A = this chain, B = another copy of it.
Amino acid sequence: MIDVELEVLGRARDLAYPETRRAVMTLHDDIRRPTEYHLGWTDVDGTPLGGKGGKGVRTALAIVSAEAAGAPAEVGAPGAVAIELIHNFPLLHDDIIDTDRERRHRPTVWALFGVGSAIIVGDALMALAPQVLLEEVTPERVSATRRLLDATAAMIAGQADDMAFEGADDVSLSACMRMVEGKTGALLAFASSVGAVLAGADIDVVEALESYGRHLGVSFQALDDVLGIWGDPRITGKPVGGDLAQRKKTLPVCAALACERREAAELRALLAGEALDAAAIARASQLVEACGGRAFTEQLAETHLACALDALRSGALDPHAVSELEALARFVTRRDH
C-alpha cells in the first residue's frame, strides 16, 4: 500500500513541479524568494534544498482527477499548479493572523521576512493561481478558473467563521461543520475535480470527484482538529493544546459544548474565562474528551472518509485512478507519517 501511495505522489510532483516552478519564477525577486522558502524549495538563505516541496497531496489529487476522467495526467497539470498556489496563500496570511512563528518546524515567512512581506507574498500567489489557469483561453480553462475563484471565496468565508468563533462562547455543531466545509472542504473539492474539469468531463464525473474531495476535506480537518488538541508537538510542530489556547471552536470543542453533561458548562466557562494557562488548557482538553468531543470527531472523520470513498462509486471513473484516489484518501486521513 505504501508503494502505491508514494508512487502517485512522486509521479504527480514530478509532473507538476516544473510547471509550478515556471510560474513562481515569474514573480518579483522579493516575492519569489520568500515563496521558494515557504514551499520548502530553499533554505532561509536561498540555498536550494533539492526537494520539490511538501507531500503534494493536492497536486496528486489534481493530476489523478484528470486521469479519473480518462484524460492524460498532463491535462491536470495547470490545475495542480493553481491548487498549490491557492492552498499556500492563506497559510502565509493565517500565520500572521495567528502569530504562529513556526510551520512544519521552520520559521514562518512573516517571522523571517516581516509581516509586510508575508502579506504581499500571499497576495501575489492568490493572483498567480487564476493567471496560470487562464494562460490559455479554452472553455475548460475558464470553467476551472471560475471554480477556483468560487472555492477561494468559500475558503475565505470559512476563515471568517473560524476567526469569529474564537470570540464566541458557544458555536453549534452545524455552524462548525459549515466552517469546516468552507475552510477545508472547498479547496479539496476543487483539487479533486479540477483535472476532470480541465479534461472537459461530464458534470456527473466532476460532481462525483467534488463530493469525494469535500468529504475528504472534512475527514482531514476532523483529524487535524484532534491533533490540534491531543497531537504530539514533536510530530505536529504545533504547541500542545494550541487550538484550545486560541479558543478555537474546532469540531471536538463544538461537539463537547453540544453535550448535556455538566462538564460542558465547565468547558464553556473555562473557554470564556480570562487567562488560559497550561493547567486550564489541560483541564479543557480533559473536559472535551469527557464530553465525547474526541470520540465524536474521530467517528466523524471515519464517516466522511467512507462518504469520500462512496462518492468514487457514483461516477463513471477510470478504475485505476479510483484506486489511486482511494489510496490518497487513506494517506490523507492517516496522520502517522
Contact = CB atoms under 8 A, between A and B. Distances in A.
A90 B123 contact: yes
Interface in A115-159: 115-117, 119-120, 122-124, 126-128, 130-131, 134, 137, 139, 142-143, 145-146, 149-150, 152-153, 156-157, 159
A139 B141 CA distance: 13
A269 interface: no
Contact of A149 (B31, B119, B127): B127
A153 B153 CA distance: 19
Nearest to A138: B142
A232 to B, nearest CB: 28
Given A28-B156, A31-B157, A157-B28, A163 B127 contact: no
A28 B28 CA distance: 32
A169 interface: no
A131 B153 contact: yes
A160 B120 contact: yes
A123 B86 CA distance: 11
Given A120-B159, A164-B30, A153 B134 contact: no
A281 interface: no
A97 interface: yes
Contacts of A87: none
A248 interface: no
A116 to B, nearest CB: 4
A93 interface: yes
A30 B139 CA distance: 34
Contacts of A115: 96-97
Contacts of A289: none
Contact of A128 (B89, B128, B153, B161): B153
B97 A161 contact: no
Contacts of A28: 156-157, 160-161
Given A97-B115, A119-B93, A142-B142, A30 B130 contact: no
25 contacts: A27-B157, A28-B157, A28-B160, A28-B161, A29-B160, A30-B163, A30-B164, A31-B157, A89-B123, A90-B123, A93-B119, A96-B116, A97-B115, A97-B116, A97-B119, A97-B120, A120-B156, A122-B123, A126-B127, A127-B149, A130-B130, A130-B145, A131-B150, A137-B146, A145-B145
Interface of A: 27-31, 89-90, 93, 96-97, 115-117, 119-120, 122-124, 126-128, 130-131, 134, 137, 139, 142-143, 145-146, 149-150, 152-153, 156-157, 159-161, 163-164
